Structure 1
Amino acid sequence: MSRPNATDSSRQARQVLAATSISYTIVLLDASIINVGLEQIGDSFNSGVSGLQWIVNAYTLTFASFLLTGGTLGDRLGARNIYLAGLAVFTLASALCGFAPDLATLACARALQGVGSAMLVPCSLSLINQAYPDPGKRAAAIGMWMGCGGIAMASGPLLGGLLIHWFGWRSIFFVNLPLGLLGIGLTWRLPRSQALRSRHFDAAGQLTAIIALGSLIAVLIEAPLLGWRSTPIVAGILTCAAFGLLFVRIETRQQQPMLPLAFFRNRLFSASALVSMASALVFYGMLFSFSLYYQRELGYAPLQAGLAFLPMTVTVAVGGLWSGRLAGWFGARASMCTAFCLYAGGAAGMLLAGPGSPYWLAVLPMLAIGLASGFISPAATAPAMGTVEKSRAGIAAAVLNSARQTGAALGVAIFGAMLTALQPFQHGLHLVLGIASIVALAAALLWWFCAGPPVRMAEVQTPAKKRALR
């Protein structure tokens, strides 16, 4: 009897890995494929840069805001149930994006995609952990899961360019439908999962976080058009400050907060979260800016833009695959600082690849930018996870993912605002690249002074504090 049971368990584990890999593929594919469709979307709806910023940030904003709650719901109601619901929401939202009649509807559908992603991504890891109890097999499964996401990220611009060239911009959303339905079919066959533990749903923290982060992004996007002293912008700034302070107050008083602020008492964890946010800010901000540059300024078709991005997106996957080895060879501190210097050097190099310059001048800088982005994400995660207890690894990973998504939203908002405020476009792009270099170098300095031997939270907390965290 043991052999059939082992065979069934192995088959079910492979089915879990297939289902979760499909979901992670479409989540990261959607994050990168949208960039080559921005110009076509803008032409269809007669939208300026601010409207395109909302199309990108409606997704990243809700993804970042609901990611911690998605993990909590998975713990309370079962990872399989919430994963299935999230995948269904994402697939439905993709169909709504494809049929959107106007910009506002498209932005709302993109926000719904973000909610679905926030539900399924943390539950994907929970399902893999349950399906692979052996640590070695679990590590291999997670590596394959992340590898599928890296391939999707790398192929997104090129695939998007091909789809738009053949079928128009709506096809970049419709491509999610067969993948989503396949993932739902695979997940539906899995046995229902039970809640691992009962965790409190932090509704007040969730609401205040959404309002604070949403008002911040809105201010950054709309201020160049409305003016920093206009009534809506001033109201937005006050709203962001008030709800941000209220969020911190709520989280410090909750017994089971959505965002455990105690994590940030550890210097290495705080540094990991900040450099993850800085990396996403620089990468996604430049990806948005380069997309507008190639299509609006140089007149590239979507397929040409997808091909132009290929050096950068392919090296994202390469950097992720080699991250662990490089950190092992050269050390976490030196390798991470080098990666951020690659960011700064890549941004500086792109200044030489302006209008009239041959494309090959941009290849080396984009290789550096992509390699840095791929390396930093896993390299920042590993030391941070070493600072927390194993029982809290899931929520710690969700915090780091939220930091990345917040950084991505801020990058698109800030860099887009600069491109809108400064004309001609080339002047705004020069400022964007200068700010990207400064942020990257600041992150390198931060990591240099904060990286050190991981200190577990259990070693720095008093028993009373640890009881409060449970």
Structure 2
Amino acid sequence: MPSAPPVLSTEPGPSTRPGAWTAMILVIACAAQFMVVLDVSIVNVALPDIKASLGLSPAGQQWIVNAYTLGFAGLLLLGGRAADLVGARRTFLAGLCTFTAASLACGLASDGATLIAARAVQGIGGAVLAPATLTMIMTTFTEPRARTRAMGAWSSVNGVGGAAGALVGGLLTEYTGWRWVFFVNVPIGIAILGAALFYAPAAHGSRGGLSRLDLPGALSVTVGLTALVYGIISTESSSWASPHVWAALALGTVFLAAFVGIESKVAAPLVPLAVLRRRTLAIANLVMIGLGSAMFAMWFLLSLYTQQVLGFSALKTGLCFLPGCLAVIVGARTSTHLVRRTGPRPLLLTGMALSTFGFLWLSRIAVGGTFTTDVASPFVLCALGLGLAMLPVTAAATTGIDRREAGLASGLVNTSRQVGGALGLAILAAIASHTAGGHVSPGVQALTAGYGRAFLFAALFTACAAFGSLFLPGRPTPAVPGPTPGGPE
């Protein structure tokens, strides 16, 4: 910790003690990212308590997760561009304040509609905050080896945050009540805000940054994704032939097509379509969609299986996820040490192969299953594969990207994970619901059959991700160009 406040500029002077200064930026960025990722999964263990307290339907339970995920996914691209055009510091602070205030509103919610709406705002805050964390890292750590270590820490936080969410959620739900899975963000957010005001570099974005943000593009992609997910979730209570299901899917398709049209015409698009011609970036994002589709649903389905079928308490369910959390850490640390030597492809193939095998194992869950055989062992394989894959796919997506587009690249890869997560959760939960509804056996047997079928399709998603990774570089990834000294953010 420096003895005097550092000079907040793009070029820290000798008095700022660059080592401690950059270390604090990494801590701030990773802490904020951890909080954002944690909230994707922290509610899963609390869902049965929330359902009972607020009188939610099964579809309402999904919307508590998906409202956050869709707000996150739909506006991550806007958040990425804001980090480039407005500046990472201002974007980070705006996102952090929104996220913290929405967390407070979630904890105070008195009905399901209010909670779901607050979760959507929380997701919007996360969408602004998350890409700013990676942009701060990429523009602070310019030496290739230091950047790899910093990105490794950031990627580890992504994996550990998802895995730790269930454990933290279980502890809070068991001892303080479900509202504290949201309230816990408030003191943490305030602490990060204080540190960011002191340490975050006060670099500036492009001239006229706010006026150049593509709001029509952000609105069209958010509405499109929400309509698609709504249509898929609706199939749990209606058939695929229902008019309102087709109307929702058609509306989503129209808005996503409109998004493509908008991006081809506006002066400062969220996604310059030319960037998608970069083969490695495009493939890495497709791989991330497959990875996110399986992994987000895993936390949700396993939480319900352990509580509804195995009869575990919220705390015991949270503890069940501890081995997976440790496996993510091991996988992330391993990939950090190996990715510069092997390139992303071997690590991604290995990670997705492990996850695919783990999901195939999970598909065999039974009503009288045990923690070791039916949960811990396959879950550890899935989590280890996730840890191995997160850094390589992120590194592949940002390879060769100019620092002025760092926010765009990070926004794209984060968006792909969230889009995959929202669609994957909707699809796999619908599969589980349809399988359970059509099962001849009542109660927990039907639920177990539904969860098993969903895990089988999750294995298909990770197998597709493994296939896509075959087309990524098989050699060490070159360093992302560093920032130009004194250049604009």
Paired residues, number: 455
Give 2:463's aligned residue: 441
Change (3 A) 1:202 1:60: same
Aligned mate of 1:355, from 344, 353, 367 = 367
- Structure 2: distance between partners of 1:82 and 1:328: 30
- Residue 7 in structure 1 maps to residue 20 in structure 2: no
Give 1:429's aligned residue: 451
Alignment of 1:280-299 (within 5 A): 280-299=292-311
Tell me if structure 1 keeps the 8 A contact 2:301–2:451: yes
Tell me if structure 2 keeps the 8 A contact 1:12–1:131: no
- Structure 1: distance between partners of 2:220 and 2:105: 27
Tell me if structure 2 keeps the 8 A contact 1:49–1:420: no
Aligned mate of 2:184, from 165, 172, 175 = 175
Aligned mate of 1:243, from 230, 241, 255 = 255
Alignment of 1:9-88 (within 5 A): 10=18, 12-88=21-97
Give 2:431's aligned residue: 418
Tell me if structure 1 keeps the 8 A contact 2:396–2:477: no
Change (3 A) 1:116 1:361: same
- 1:183-204 Cα deviation digits (max 9, x unpaired): 1112233577343324521122
Q: CA deviation at 1:135?
A: 4.9
Tell me if structure 1 keeps the 8 A contact 2:37–2:158: yes
The AA in structure 1 aligned to 2:468 is: L
Tell me if structure 2 keeps the 8 A contact 1:383–1:454: no
Q: Secondary structure in 1 aligned to 2:44?
A: helix
Tell me if structure 2 keeps the 8 A contact 1:384–1:454: no
Q: Secondary structure in 2 aligned to 1:414?
A: helix
Task: Please identify which structure carries the higher helix content.
Answer: 1
Percentage identity across aligned positions? Answer: 34
- Residue 262 in structure 1 maps to residue 274 in structure 2: yes
The AA in structure 2 aligned to 1:399 is: L
Give 1:320's aligned residue: 332
Give 1:465's aligned residue: none
Q: Secondary structure in 2 aligned to 1:189?
A: helix
Change (3 A) 1:132 1:359: closer
The AA in structure 2 aligned to 1:345 is: F
Alignment of 1:113-262 (within 5 A): 113-132=122-141, 134-190=143-199, 193-198=202-207, 199=209, 200-262=212-274
The AA in structure 2 aligned to 1:334 is: P
- Structure 1: distance between partners of 2:15 and 2:151: 21
Change (3 A) 1:278 1:108: same
Superposed CA RMSD: 2.6
Give 2:391's aligned residue: 378
Tell me if structure 1 keeps the 8 A contact 2:97–2:125: yes
- Structure 1: distance between partners of 2:476 and 2:199: 38
Tell me if structure 1 keeps the 8 A contact 2:149–2:336: no
Tell me if structure 2 keeps the 8 A contact 1:93–1:113: yes
Structure 1 unaligned blocks of 5 or more: 457-470
Tell me if structure 2 keeps the 8 A contact 1:344–1:438: yes
- 1:94-136 Cα deviation digits (max 9, x unpaired): 1111111011111111111111111112222333445445555
Change (3 A) 1:250 1:261: same
- 1:371-409 Cα deviation digits (max 9, x unpaired): 111111211122232254444333112111110111111
Q: Secondary structure in 2 aligned to 1:382?
A: helix
TM-score by length of 1: 0.89
The AA in structure 2 aligned to 1:33 is: I
